[in-house]
Amino acid sequence: MQLSIQNLSKTYGNGVKALDKINLTIGQGMFGLLGPNGAGKSSLMRTIATLQEPDIGTIHFNDIDVLNQPMELRKTLGYLPQEFGVYPNVSALDLLQYFASLKGVSSAKDRKNLVDYVLEVTNLTDVKRRAVSGYSGGMKQRFGIAQMLLNDPQLIIVDEPTAGLDPAERKRFLNILREISRGHIVIFSTHIVEDVKELCLDMAIMNQGSILLRQSPGSAAAEMNGKIWVKRIEGDITDVQNKYRFLSNSYNPDHSITVRVYAESVPGEGFSSATPNLEDVYFFHLNQEVAQTI
């Protein structure tokens, strides 16, 4: 099972280059697409999902030429966009029964078994008779996964699914994605570094329509061993931001600030070595791209 993207580019009518020669090969399991808002992640997801056409490039999923055979891809695709609508005052059970019939499940018994299964997988069985429009944000996202699973998709795309969820809902949603990634390709698009760290064994960092890094989260962080340094500072951190390759900062209970910087060796007095993490990798590549454009 493999998704292959080659030389994919897209420029919108307003001149914004959303995709710039994207090349990716994605195999089975959970793949994280990490980048800030406006990086081009949603444009890439929509293009893979056949909701828009690129200017140039190719996409193949197994033996399907996606851009020339969009209906074949849609038969095996599950897509959860950033936002999706629900019918007011209609229960999850009735909606899923309806969607299952639209997807060609004609037998009432088969529909019941399928709907019961996806409700169980998404932990919605106990609230299946409640109107989906009254669900919490996390429950709506889980309902989105439930309807997506009705056609047993091989390729699953979820676009910024945890944005706005409270911590408990986020954990529950990530656990569901982790389970369904077995035997599928799941592309998980997000700007939340922690989600990729928890969930994905493979990833890419994207910004301004380009892929900045393609690597596993663990190996990307390991390559920064001995190059991440921290220092506790009282007051303004502007000098540190200007003088060093600044990555991030965090506030301490005593109101001091701990800064994290990248350097090949000890950058200055008061700095100590720190264990690198995926957030360091993320900010390093985003900052490096900004520096190259100045």
By the 8 A CB rule, do 54 and 6 touch?
Answer: no
Query: Strand pairing of 272-273 and 77-80?
Result: unpaired
pLDDT number for residue 289:
57
DSSP H helical segments within 103-260, as ranges?
108-121, 137-148, 167-180, 193-199, 217-222, 238-243
Per-residue pLDDT at 5 exceeds 60 = yes
User: Do 184 and 281 belong to one domain?
Assistant: no
Give the residue from 216, 247, 272 where a domain finishes: 216
User: Do 113 and 248 belong to one domain?
Assistant: no
User: Do 160 and 278 belong to one domain?
Assistant: no
Q: What is the pLDDT of residues 222-273, one digit of tens each?
A: 999 999 999 999 888 998 999 999 999 999 998 899 999 999 999 988 999 9
- Number of domains into which the chain is organized: 2
The domain of 8 spans 2-216
Q: What is the pTM of this model?
A: 0.85
Neighbours of 276 (CB within 10 A): 21
User: Do 155 and 253 belong to one domain?
Assistant: no
**Residue 60 to residues 79, 232, 255: CA-CA distances in angstroms?**
17, 50, 52
Per-residue pLDDT at 69 exceeds 60 = yes
User: Do 165 and 243 belong to one domain?
Assistant: no
* DSSP-derived secondary structure letter, 131: B
pLDDT confidence tier of residue 137, bands split at 50, 70 and 90: confident
User: Do 151 and 32 belong to one domain?
Assistant: yes
Structure tokens at 27: 């195999």
User: Do 175 and 229 belong to one domain?
Assistant: no
User: Do 158 and 83 belong to one domain?
Assistant: yes
User: Do 20 and 48 belong to one domain?
Assistant: yes
Neighbours of 243 (CB within 10 A): 11
Per-residue pLDDT at 93 exceeds 90 = yes
- Nearest CA to 270 among 255, 259, 254, 282? 259
Residue 20's domain is classified under what CATH number? 3.40.50.300
